[in-house]
Amino acid sequence: MAIVAGVDFGTLSVRVTLMETSGEHLGTAVAPYPLHTSPADPYRATQSHADHMEALATATRAAVADAGIDGRDVAAIACDTTGSSVIPVDENLEPVGEYYLWCDHRAHREAAEITEVFRASGHEAIDWCGGVYSHEWGYAKLLHFLRHDPEAGRMASAFEHCDMVAATLAGVTRPADAVRSVCALGHKWMWNPKWGGLPPEELLAKVDPRLAGINDRLAGEVATSDRIAGHLSAEWAERLGLAAGIPIPVGAFDAHWDAVGSGCRMGDIVNVVGTSTCIIALGPRDSGTIPGLCGLVPGSVHPAHMGVEAGQSATGDVFDAIARRAGRSLADLGEEVVSYRAAQTGLLRVPWDNGDRTVLVRPDLGGVTMGWTLSSTAADELFAAIEGMALHVRVIVDRMGEGGVPSERIINAGGVPQRSETLNQVYANALGRDILVPTRSPVGVGSCVFAGLAAGAFDSIEAGQDALCPPMRRFAPDPAAVAVYDELFAIFRDVYFALGEGRSADLGRVLPTLHRLRAPH
């Protein structure tokens, strides 16, 4: 047995979890850090690398104290982070400014230009990221920095958060010496071994000459998370209260390791449901592109399989917004809908409140609610939003299946399913299949799995999952509700593709169908 540390950097805080590789949870601690926004620029959202690392030191020492252990007994430390959080660095691997956080959307023009050039070229890299390069992703943010930041001349390279943290902990001081994550480069920077790694530089330079030579600045070893990024330096061992020299595996994104921590195997689809939803699955290694899916990357979740990523741009944020508009607490509204039956609100809600990430890849869309009456309530809208989220997931799962991704089990991970049995039951009914939910939060468990692998305590990811992942609760579909949701899904799908893609559909049947389904049955 060994003691390992699993680190999860979220949007506003870092969580450190200590576990024995036998499966015992020893201690957890959380430390916050500020998010920097500006009233003058609603698209701006940045964070300081120094704040992140200070919070990591605070949380690690607190977790060790909570566990009642000697920190020098920790055998390895592994870190996952938010994705699309990009920081420019100088030649000494020191930050030049702050992270463009995942929710920083200043690079929307740059993303559109990258999409246009790659589509016109016919290069397959754009197909592997769903046909649209996102304003959240690396090259777009880097180009925005090069165009607008007065310190741009000092930039030698740039890193995703997971790679920057690992390099910092390992004492790396040259960008070229840092190991980069397959998960990060593949999902956000169009990296794929099919075309030799990063996308053609001549296309990037065509977008803007400032990107000429950029791939040379991003050069370095690219590896999956079963590999070692480095070993804990003496400086950071002292700051964290751990032993110097312990291994640090190559990092990855939080949703991908949350899926591993939820027990994800081939045939599983994991909905990591939080403020937004990231949907993670494993596909055959030789899988091809799937239209509308924002990322298929070999080795990004499990080194032996194709990592498949999709998602919803807002989930918990939509529920919070409904409660906020009503002047009610979400917990209060949630209690009101516990006894709601399928389609009883007479509302159909298409959850595009923050755009559509999958399968339309349309950030320019807005939420749609149909079927309002004079008696509709905030609780009705909340329940319809939960139903809409579930029906949208059904669209995504269907698209994955068309692309050859198996879906033998559906797992609801993330924070929201831990708090809402209503959501889990609606998902089971709307998808017509069992929904599995971890009995405790899997956050940090995936990091501990990879830390245990790095420490030599496990000989495979599966062995680590068997030892550390929590057991599951099962939500079984109600046959009567399934029949109702099959009807509701038919009109949801028509509205979704008619308004989002311009497909022909008989929209005249939507409101009468909602009215009929609303009646007791």
Question: What is the residue type of 367?
Answer: G
Phi first, then psi: give them for residue 159, nearest 5 degrees.
-140, 150
pLDDT in tens, 248-271: 999 999 999 999 999 999 999 999
Q: At 275, is the pLDDT very low, low, confident or very high (cuts 50, 70, 90)?
A: confident
pLDDT at 206: 98
Residue 239: how many CB atoms within 10 A of its CB?
A: 17
Q: At 48, is the pLDDT very low, low, confident or very high (cuts 50, 70, 90)?
A: very high
Residues recorded for the chain? 521
Residue with structure tokens 């559906």? 410
Helix H or strand E encompassing 328: none
Q: At 60, is the pLDDT very low, low, confident or very high (cuts 50, 70, 90)?
A: very high
Q: At 296, is the pLDDT very low, low, confident or very high (cuts 50, 70, 90)?
A: very high
> 73-82 as b/e, with b when 16 or more CB fall inside 10 Å?
ebbbbbbbbb
User: What distance in Å separates the CA atoms of residue 262 and residue 437, rounded to the nearest whole number?
Assistant: 8
User: 312 pLDDT exceeds 80?
Assistant: yes
Residue 348: which of 183, 188, 517, 223 has the closest Cα? Answer: 517
Average pLDDT over residues 26-47: 95
Tokens of 227: 């590999």
pLDDT at 521: 59
Phi first, then psi: give them for residue 397, nearest 5 degrees.
-65, -40
User: What distance in Å separates the CA atoms of residue 266 and residue 462, rounded to the nearest whole number?
Assistant: 11
User: What distance in Å separates the CA atoms of residue 325 and residue 60, rounded to the nearest whole number?
Assistant: 38
User: What distance in Å separates the CA atoms of residue 170 and residue 256, rounded to the nearest whole number?
Assistant: 22
User: 364 pLDDT exceeds 90?
Assistant: no
DSSP-derived 3-state class of residue 444: coil
User: 363 pLDDT exceeds 90?
Assistant: no
Kindly give, in sequence order, each residue whose CB lies less than 8 Å from that of residue 148, ignoring residues fewer than 6 positions away. none
Could you give the strand order of the β-sheet that contains 25-32, starting from the edge strand earlier in sequence? 25-32, 13-20, 3-9, 74-81, 252-253
pLDDT at 294: 79
Domains of the chain, by residue range, sit at 3-253, 316-395+480-518
DSSP-derived 3-state class of residue 252: strand
H runs (alpha helix) in 149-233? 161-169, 182-188, 201-207, 214-217
Q: Strand 295-298 vs strand 306-312: parallel, antiparallel, or unpaired?
A: antiparallel
pLDDT at 428: 98
Residue 229: which of 183, 174, 181 has the closest Cα? Answer: 181
User: 46 pLDDT exceeds 90?
Assistant: yes
Tokens of 112: 């559109």
Average model confidence (pLDDT) across the chain: 96
User: What distance in Å separates the CA atoms of residue 53 and residue 82, rounded to the nearest whole number?
Assistant: 14
414 to each of 186, 316, 386, how far by Cα in Å?
A: 23, 11, 15
Question: What is the residue type of 113?
Answer: E
pLDDT in tens, 193-204: 999 999 999 999
User: What distance in Å separates the CA atoms of residue 445 and residue 408, rounded to the nearest whole number?
Assistant: 22
Percent of the chain with pLDDT over 70: 100
User: What distance in Å separates the CA atoms of residue 437 and residue 472, rounded to the nearest whole number?
Assistant: 5
User: What distance in Å separates the CA atoms of residue 132 and residue 149, rounded to the nearest whole number?
Assistant: 25
Percent of the chain with pLDDT over 90: 92
Q: Which CATH architecture has domain 3-253?
A: 2-Layer Sandwich (3.30)
Residue 293: which of 312, 266, 316 has the closest Cα? Answer: 312
User: Count of alpha carbons within 13 Å of 305, Cβ hemisphere only?
Assistant: 21
pLDDT at 362: 85
Average pLDDT over residues 446-459: 98
Q: Say if CB 237 and CB 244 are below 8 A apart.
A: yes
User: Count of alpha carbons within 13 Å of 50, Cβ hemisphere only?
Assistant: 4
User: 357 pLDDT exceeds 80?
Assistant: yes
Span of 181-190, 227-236, 294-303 with lowest mean pLDDT: 294-303
Note the pTM of the prediction, 2 decimals: 0.93
Kindly give, in sequence order, each residue whose CB lies less than 8 Å from that of residue 263, ignoring residues fewer than 6 positions away. 411, 438, 465, 469, 472
